[in-house]
Amino acid sequence: MAVLNITYNGLSADYPLDVDYQLTDRDVRRIAVEVVRSGGIRGLQVANLGEHAFDDYVVDRFDAPNGDRDRNGRRIYLRPKVPFGCL
């Protein structure tokens, strides 16, 4: 069990993921697109969301504070990247 947190269009919300395997970053982005398109998160439905909407986002992963992954799961944050630079 994991919880996916998506920040998009001024909202930040959790979506439960019933998965028992290690998701790749690409998996997370693809799932997020489908969740937002389908309205899986209240207040955050964009039916025509582009396939590449989260290409410039990064995936942060954290274990639950007590480290009990089976019961409390992992938290996966999909957030915008924030590096800057002149190159």
Kindly list the residues in this chain that would bind other proteins in the complex (CB under 8 A). 7-12, 50, 53, 56-58, 60, 79-87
| Smaller CB separation from other proteins, 7 or 72 | 7
Compute the distance between CA of residue 54 and CA of residue 76 in angstroms, rounded to an integer. 14
* Strand (E) or helix (H) holding 55: none
| Smaller CB separation from other proteins, 42 or 71 | 42
Q: Shortest approach of other proteins to residue 7 CB, angstroms?
A: 5
Assigned token pair, 47:
């039916």
Compute the distance between CA of residue 78 and CA of residue 53 in angstroms, rounded to an integer. 12
Q: Shortest approach of other proteins to residue 81 CB, angstroms?
A: 5
